[in-house]
Amino acid sequence: MVAYSLSQHKQFLTERQESLLAEVRLVLEQLAQALDRLGSGDVAPGDMRTLRETMQHISELFLLVIAGEFNSGKSTFINALLGANILPEGVTPTTDRITLLRYGDTWQENLLEAHLIERSYPADVLRQLVIVDTPGTNAVIRRHEELTRDFIPRSDLVLFTTSADRPFTESERVFLELIKEWGKKIVLIVNKIDFLDAGEYEQVMEFVRNHARDVLGTVPDVFPISARQALRARISDDLDLWKKSRFADVERYIVETLDEETRIRFKLLSPLGVGQHLVKRYLLTVETRLSTLREDFATLTNIDQQLDLFKEDLNNDVQYHLNEIDMILRDLEIRGNRFFDDTIRITRLPDLLRREHTQELFEREVVGDISQQIEERVHTLIDWMIEKDLRLWQSTTDYINRRRLPQNRDGIIGEVGGAFEYNRGALLDTVGEKARRVVESYDRDIEARAMADDIRASVAATAIAEAGALGLGALLIAIFNGMLLDITGIVAATVLAIGGFYLLPAKRRQAKRAFTQRIDELRVQLRQAIQRQFNSEVEQSITRIREAIGPYTRFVRAQREHLTGLQRELAELDRTMQRLRVDIET
C-alpha cells in the first residue's frame, strides 16, 4: 500500500502550513480533553470516535468522498474518472460497504473494517488523493445510509451526486444538511444529463442551484455530467461522446483546481469543521443543562426564601407573644403590690400571723392561674411553629417533586441527557422521597410535646433556677414565703414591743420593691429563655430541611460551576477554531 499523507509530504509543507497544522492538532486535542471532562457517559461514543479518527486522519492522504443517493451514478462516476470499470455498477444496491480507492502499482484489495474495503489501482489521479465510493443515502436501506453518514466526518471534500431524472430528493436534502453540519466542503454533481433535452436541462440546473442555496446558504460548484457517456467515451476514445458527457470540467476541477495547496488547505479545514460541529453540539448540551440548573437554582432560592420568611415570621410572632407574657407579668406585679398594701397593715396583724392563710390568699389573689396563662402563650407559639414547619416540609417536597416531573426532562433524555440527567434524576428521586417521608410521618402531637419539653427544660434550667421543675406558680409562692417570713418576724416584734409598729410601713415598701424587682428579673429571664429556645427550634427545623435537600443543592452548585467552566472553554475553542479557519482560508 502506498500511503501519501500530509505528514509524509512534510517536505512540501511550508512553515506556515506546518504551524497551522500544529495549531489544528492542539485545538482538537483540547477539544478532546474538554469533552472528556464533560463526562464519559455524557458524550456520544460515536462523537468521541469521530474526533479521534479525525485527529488521526489529519496525517493521511486527501479524502475525496463521493456521496449521494443510491443509483445516482456514484460508482459510474468514479469509473469514468479512473477510465476503467473498477467499481461494480448496477441498479440494485448490492454492496453495503464503503470502498477506498488508493494508488497502487497493482490491483489489490484489503478489508479494513467490517464495511470498509480498500482497493489499490494504478491511476495517476490516485497519487494525490484517496477516492471513496459510498453505498449512498437510501431511505430503504438504512444500513447504507448509516455507513455513509459515519464516514462523512473523515472526508476532506464531498462530491455530492444527484441524478438529473430525480434531482434533489428529500433524502438528499437531509443528507446535504448533515454534510454541511460537519463543515465539509461540498461540490455538486448533477449526473445523467443525457436523459434531458435542452429545456429540461435548464430547469433541472435552476432547480438544483436554488435548492442547494436553500440548504447550504451559498451555491456550491455544480457540475452537470453524464458519467455513463464519459466512461464509454474513455474506454472507446470517442471524443464527441466525451464532449457530450461534459466530464472534462469536473475532471479538471479534481486534478487542477484541487492542487496541492488547495488540498492542504481543505485538509486543514476539514478537522476544524468536525471540531466546530462537535463544539456546537456540546455547547448546546451544556447550555441545555445550565438552563435546567438555572431552574433548579431558582427552586432552591425559593426554598431558601421560604426558610428566611419562616424565620422572620416566627421572630415577629415570638415578639408578640413575649409582649403578651410581659403584660401577664405586669398584671401580676400590680396585683402583688396591691396585696402588700392591703395585707401588711396593723389592722391585718391577726391575718398576717396566720401564715398559711395569708399564703392561700396570695396564691388566690396574686398568683392565680399565671402559670397556665404563660404556658398557653408558649403553646400557641409551639403550635404555630409545628404547623409552619410541616408546611415548609410540604412545600419543599412540592418544589422538589415539580423538578422531578417527567416534563422537566423532556428533550434532554437520551443521548444528550446522559449521565448528568441520570444523576440529577436519581438525586431528586432520593431527596424528594426523603422529604415526602418526613411529611407523611409528621406527628404534630409528638413534635409539639418534644418542643414543649425542650422549652420547659430550658426555662427551668436558665430562667428560674430555684423553681426547678415546680413551675412558675410554685416559684412565686416560694418568693412570697420568703418575704412573708421576714414580715412575720416583724409582726412578732411588733406584738412584743411597740417600736415595731413604725417598722411596718418600711417593711411594706421594702417587700413591694423586692417583689417588683423579682418580677422584673423573671420577665427578663423568661423572655431570654423563650426567645433563645424558639430561635434554636427554628434553626433546627431549617437545618433539617437544608440537610434533606443538601445533596440536591450541592449537585446544582457543583454542576453549575463545572458546566459554566466548560461552556467558557468550549466557546473559547470555537473562537480559536474560527480564527484558525480564517487563517487557513487566507
* Integer angstrom CA distances of residue 569 from 20, 52, 320, 452: 21, 19, 55, 56
Residue 157 near residue 184, CB atoms below 8 Å: yes
State how far the Cα of 329 lies from the Cα of 522, in Å rounded to an integer. 9
Chain residues binding ligand GDP by CB under 6 A are 70-76, 89-91, 136, 191-192, 194-195, 226-228
Question: Which amino acid, 49?
Answer: R
Q: 533 is in the binding site of which of Mg ion, ligand GDP, none (Cβ under 5 to 8 A by kind)? A: none
Nearer to ligand GDP, 244 or 560 (CB): 244
List of residues 6+ apart from 181 with CB closer than 8 A: 277
Residue nearest to ligand GDP according to CB distances in the complex: 73
List of residues 6+ apart from 435 with CB closer than 8 A: 393, 396, 397, 400, 548, 549
Nearer to ligand GDP, 198 or 496 (CB): 198
Nearer to ligand GDP, 150 or 194 (CB): 194
Nearer to ligand GDP, 148 or 343 (CB): 148
Residue nearest to Mg ion according to CB distances in the complex: 75
Nearer to Mg ion, 130 or 427 (CB): 130
Q: 313 is in the binding site of which of ligand GDP, Mg ion, none (Cβ under 5 to 8 A by kind)? A: none
CB of 90 to ligand GDP, least distance (A): 5
Nearer to ligand GDP, 74 or 265 (CB): 74
CB of 101 to ligand GDP, least distance (A): 13
CB of 133 to Mg ion, least distance (A): 6
Cell numbers placing 449? 410535646
- Which residues in 107-144 are b (16+ Cβ under 10 Å) and which e? eeeeeeeebbbbbbbebebbebbbbbbbbbbbeeeeeb
CB of 94 to Mg ion, least distance (A): 8
CB of 196 to Mg ion, least distance (A): 22
Helix, strand or coil, per DSSP, at residue 351: helix
Q: 285 is in the binding site of which of Mg ion, ligand GDP, none (Cβ under 5 to 8 A by kind)? A: none
Neighbours of 6 (CB within 10 A): 20
Nearer to ligand GDP, 186 or 438 (CB): 186
Nearer to ligand GDP, 71 or 396 (CB): 71
Q: 358 is in the binding site of which of Mg ion, ligand GDP, none (Cβ under 5 to 8 A by kind)? A: none
CB of 407 to ligand GDP, least distance (A): 45
The values of phi and psi at residue 166, to 5°, are -150, 70
Alpha helices in 217-259 (DSSP H): 227-236, 239-245, 247-252
Q: 185 is in the binding site of which of ligand GDP, Mg ion, none (Cβ under 5 to 8 A by kind)? A: none
Neighbours of 162 (CB within 10 A): 27
Nearer to ligand GDP, 91 or 497 (CB): 91
Residue 378 near residue 453, CB atoms below 8 Å: no
Q: 228 is in the binding site of which of Mg ion, ligand GDP, none (Cβ under 5 to 8 A by kind)? A: ligand GDP
* Nearest Cα residue to 573 out of 278, 287, 286, 180: 278
Q: 151 is in the binding site of which of Mg ion, ligand GDP, none (Cβ under 5 to 8 A by kind)? A: none
Q: What order of strands is seen across the sheet that includes strand 116-121? A: 108-113, 116-121, 98-103, 129-133, 62-68, 157-163, 186-191, 222-224
Nearer to ligand GDP, 90 or 489 (CB): 90
Strand partners, 187: 159
Question: Which amino acid, 132?
Answer: V
* Nearest Cα residue to 351 out of 487, 249, 524: 487
Q: 73 is in the binding site of which of Mg ion, ligand GDP, none (Cβ under 5 to 8 A by kind)? A: ligand GDP
State how far the Cα of 253 lies from the Cα of 237, in Å rounded to an integer. 21
Residue 145 near residue 138, CB atoms below 8 Å: yes
Q: 99 is in the binding site of which of Mg ion, ligand GDP, none (Cβ under 5 to 8 A by kind)? A: none
Chain residues binding Mg ion by CB under 5 A are 74-75
List of residues 6+ apart from 113 with CB closer than 8 A: none
CB of 428 to ligand GDP, least distance (A): 51
State how far the Cα of 542 lies from the Cα of 311, in Å rounded to an integer. 9
CB of 229 to ligand GDP, least distance (A): 6
Q: 343 is in the binding site of which of ligand GDP, Mg ion, none (Cβ under 5 to 8 A by kind)? A: none
CB of 80 to ligand GDP, least distance (A): 8
CB of 75 to Mg ion, least distance (A): 3
Nearer to ligand GDP, 192 or 388 (CB): 192
CB of 87 to ligand GDP, least distance (A): 7
Q: 253 is in the binding site of which of Mg ion, ligand GDP, none (Cβ under 5 to 8 A by kind)? A: none
